Amino acid sequence: MKNEENNLQRCLDSILLSAGTNVDVHVFDDCSTDRTAEILQEYADRHDNIHAHKGFGKGPAIIRNYFLEEVTNPYIIFVDGDIEVQSNWYQEIERSISKMSDTIVAIGGAQKIPHISKGLEKFHGALLESFSFLSDHIQQASDFVEVKHNPLCNVIYKTQPLKDVQGFDEHLFPGEDLDMDIRLYRNGYKFLYNPEMVVYHHRPDTIKEFQTMLIKYGKT
């Protein structure tokens, strides 16, 4: 993550509330220029299962591949620094793991507009929802449903298949998550969507920040 001082505390607090010590949380600060690193270190000092790492200033794909080489757990969860997980999120993570198989290797969850969002943040969130990869049919599902892609802001993968396809394309951002799922799909793997595995995704609250984000997506 980078420059998430406004979101990091509520992100980590929500994970701790939902999962407790059942997960090891590894957070990479990718050369932030705000207080992100300081806040992260404070949490790492207070919680044994939160681990602070320094990134390389070269984007998330490089960090993910670096960490992927170190992971020994059979499952790896990805979330963004600007999300809050719902209180039953970890319970749904466990339920999602029970659905994994030799072919089903990733399960993503819903991302919703935070209840506290107002003004431009709420508008930008609604606009991005309308651009979602998920069809209205899938977004309205009440149980697990097969999909072709899950965004990395809220998804759990089996670790070994990610390693088998040589990780993320380090030249892509954004879009490295979609590229990964395409390569996994071509290797015969499948993905599910769990509508009950919910995160609340904070969005830019200024037009300038929103334009910058769209330009990044447009380049891919």
Give residue-wise pLDDT tens across range 74-108.
999 999 999 999 999 999 999 999 999 999 999 99
Domain range for 190 is 8-219
Give domain status of residue 134, yes or no: yes
Is residue 2, in this structure, part of any structural domain at all? Answer: no
Predicted confidence band of residue 144 (pLDDT cuts 50, 70, 90): very high
CATH of the domain at 88: 3.90.550.10
- Structural domain total, the chain: 1
pTM above 0.85, yes or no: no
Q: How far is CA 198 from the centre of its chain?
A: 11
Percent of the chain beyond pLDDT 90? 69
Q: How far apart are CA 23 and CA 125, in angstroms?
A: 28
Query: Is residue 1 in a domain?
Result: no
- Domain annotation covers residue 144: yes
User: Which of the two residues, 153 and 220, has the higher pLDDT score?
Assistant: 153
Instruction: Tell whether 206 is covered by a domain.
Output: yes
Q: Compute the average pLDDT of residues 18-38.
A: 96
In a domain, 166, yes or no: yes
